[in-house]
């Protein structure tokens, strides 16, 4: 068989006949995979009418991408992709942001993201916001892996729960990015609804002052989504993105916050879902599909493994070196 044809044949076998495959009864954890014979005939590639379930492993997903069987990749990410940049997540006991609020003037940690409490006492929020000042943190190799997906024309859309702006800093264009929980890139008065200059907003925050509107003196709030607020209009892109995706990557999220978490169910059941996280979570833990791949452990290691299987290791290194040099240059 010609060398170029093997990935394509492999991809056909992995996709199956195009029908909906049976649900798995247990999670498909990544690990050692059995040897696969690539010389099987067409009957064994597509099945012979029996109800067979094809397990997937990370190598299988890499081969699907390399064979161009997956060219509309949707990505969901959470706080876990930013922890290698030094940003704590929210929920980790002892190290997460919520743990750091236990001795602050808040009734409970989540209160700083509730609009009623914010309007009553905005200072705890702005104390936290000061830590998130753009430039305090930089994108890491995970962000640049996502950028590489974009550069290769594979990224249909990146849905992020993060408000740190590191996806933007890594070079993901606005057209491919959905910041589901908003961002610090803009700010609005909570009273008159006027947009506020971002530079002035940050000047106040960094000076330990509560930003106020120059017109009505109302408190200015960054355009991040607080609990109970509506998600940005752009979030509605999921209605068309997820049904048309041919691969879903879920990285570094505990899948606990709705409606973001439910997006993991929105792709067709025949579409592979790759979940990379410290531990299994959401429906991928309690109701896995037959084409799920759970790659558990350190997220950077998991991404490095996929990059290696894709043959992109040197490209990613070059991109990181080039971009981090540009970021350093802008800081001088």
| Mean local confidence (pLDDT), 124-129 | 91
| Predicted pLDDT of residue 110 | 82
Report residue 197 as tokens: 């200059």
**Which of 9-13, 78-82, 230-234 is predicted with the least confidence, judged by mean pLDDT?**
9-13
| Mean local confidence (pLDDT), 203-223 | 96
CA 312 remoteness from chain centre? 20
Q: Are 299 and 128 in contact (CB under 8 A)?
A: no
Instruction: Supply the residues annotated as catalytic.
Output: 181
Q: Which domains does the chain have, with CATH numbers?
A: 55-86+140-181+233-331 (3.40.50.1220), 88-136+182-224 (3.30.1600.10)
90 labelled ligand-binding = yes
189 labelled ligand-binding = yes
Cα distances (angstroms) measured from residue 259 to each of 103, 142, 175, 228, 277: 30, 24, 21, 11, 19
193 labelled ligand-binding = no
Q: Are 213 and 194 in contact (CB under 8 A)?
A: yes
Higher pLDDT, 117 or 28: 117
Answer whether residue 27 shows pLDDT above 60.
no
Please name the residue that has the structure tokens 């025949």. 270
* Closest residue by Cα to residue 134 from 181, 188, 196, 201: 201
65 labelled ligand-binding = no
Q: Are 90 and 98 in contact (CB under 8 A)?
A: yes
163 labelled ligand-binding = yes
**pTM attached to this predicted model:** 0.79
pLDDT digits (tens, 9 = 90+) for 264-317: 999 999 999 999 999 998 888 889 999 999 999 999 999 999 999 999 999 999
| Predicted pLDDT of residue 34 | 35
How far apart CA 283 and CA 306 sit, in angstroms, is: 23
121 labelled ligand-binding = no
| Predicted pLDDT of residue 329 | 55
Continuous segment of H or E residues that includes residue 293: strand 292-296
∠ CA 326-253-270 to the nearest 5 degrees? 105
Please name the residue that has the structure tokens 């916050």. 257
Please name the residue that has the structure tokens 């959470």. 78
| Predicted pLDDT of residue 167 | 97
| Mean local confidence (pLDDT), 29-58 | 41
| Mean local confidence (pLDDT), 88-116 | 69
| Predicted pLDDT of residue 283 | 86
Answer whether residue 81 shows pLDDT above 70.
yes
């Amino acid at each position: 068989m010609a060398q170029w044809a093997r990935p394509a044949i492999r991809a056909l076998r992995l996709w199956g006949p195009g029908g909906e495959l049976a649900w798995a009864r247990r999670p498909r954890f990544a690990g050692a995979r059995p040897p696969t014979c690539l010389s099987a005939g067409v009957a064994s590639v597509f099945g012979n009418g029996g109800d067979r379930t094809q397990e997937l492993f990370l190598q299988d997903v890499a081969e699907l991408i390399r064979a161009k069987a997956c060219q509309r990749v949707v990505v969901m990410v959470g706080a876990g992709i930013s922890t290698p940049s030094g940003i704590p997540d929210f929920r980790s006991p002892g190290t997460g942001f919520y743990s750091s609020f236990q001795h602050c003037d808040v009734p409970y940690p989540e209160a700083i993201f509730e609009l009623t409490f914010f309007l009553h006492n905005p200072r705890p929020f702005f104390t936290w916001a000061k830590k998130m000042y753009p430039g305090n943190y930089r994108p890491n190799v995970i962000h640049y892996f996502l950028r590489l997906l974009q550069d290769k024309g594979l990224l249909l859309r990146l849905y992020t729960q993060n408000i740190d702006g590191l996806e933007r800093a890594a070079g993901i264009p606005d057209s491919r990015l959905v910041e589901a929980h908003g961002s610090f890139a803009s700010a609005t008065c909570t009273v008159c609804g006027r947009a506020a200059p971002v530079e002035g907003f940050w000047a106040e925050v960094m000076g330990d002052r509560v930003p106020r509107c120059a017109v009505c003196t109302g408190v200015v709030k960054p355009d991040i989504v607080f609990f109970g607020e509506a998600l940005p209009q752009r979030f509605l892109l999921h209605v068309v993105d997820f049904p048309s995706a041919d691969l879903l990557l879920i990285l570094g999220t505990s899948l606990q916050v709705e409606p973001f978490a439910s997006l993991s169910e929105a792709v067709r059941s025949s579409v592979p879902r790759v979940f990379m996280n410290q531990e299994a979570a959401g429906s991928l833990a309690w109701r896995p599909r037959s084409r799920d791949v759970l790659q558990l452990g350190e997220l950077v290691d998991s991404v490095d493994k996929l990059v290696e299987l894709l043959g992109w290791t040197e490209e990613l290194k070059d991109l990181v070196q080039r971009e981090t040099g540009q970021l350093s240059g802008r800081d001088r």
